[in-house]
A = this chain, B = another copy of it.
Amino acid sequence: MQLESDRVAWHSSKVSKQSRQLSNGHGSCVLWFTGLSGSGKSTLAAELELALHELNCKSYVLDGDNLRLGLNRGLGFSQADRSENIRRIGETARLFVDAGFITLAAAITPYQADRELLRTRFGQDEFIEVYVRCAIEECERRDPKGLYRKARSGEIRQFTGISAPYEAPRHPELEINSEKVTVAESVSILLNYLRSRGCLPAEGKAGG
Which A residues are closer than 8 A to B by beta carbons? 1-2, 4-15, 19-20, 23, 42, 46-47, 49-50, 53, 56, 58-63, 65-66, 68-71, 73, 75-77, 88, 91-92, 94-96, 98-99, 101, 106, 145, 147, 150, 155-157, 159, 207-208
CB distance from A96 to the nearest CB of B (A): 7
Q: Which residue of B lies closest to A19 (CB)?
A: B53
CB distance from A17 to the nearest CB of B (A): 11
Q: Which residue of B lies closest to A145 (CB)?
A: B9
Q: Which residue of B lies closest to A100 (CB)?
A: B58
Q: How far is the CA of A181 from the CA of B150 in the complex (A)?
A: 60
For the complex of A and B, the 10 pairs showing the least CB-CB separation, nearest first, are A71-B91, A14-B50, A11-B42, A70-B91, A15-B53, A60-B99, A8-B65, A8-B68, A11-B63, A9-B145
CB distance from A78 to the nearest CB of B (A): 10
Count copies of this chain in the complex. Answer: 2
A50, B99: Cβ atoms under 8 Å? no
CB distance from A12 to the nearest CB of B (A): 8
17 further A-B contacts with Cβ under 8 Å, apart from A11-B61, A62-B95, A92-B95, are A2-B157, A4-B68, A4-B69, A4-B73, A4-B75, A4-B76, A7-B156, A10-B69, A11-B42, A14-B50, A15-B49, A15-B59, A20-B53, A60-B95, A60-B98, A60-B99, A71-B88
Which one of A15, A46, A61, A155 has the greatest number of beta carbons of chain B within 10 Å? Answer: A15
A46, B13: Cβ atoms under 8 Å? yes
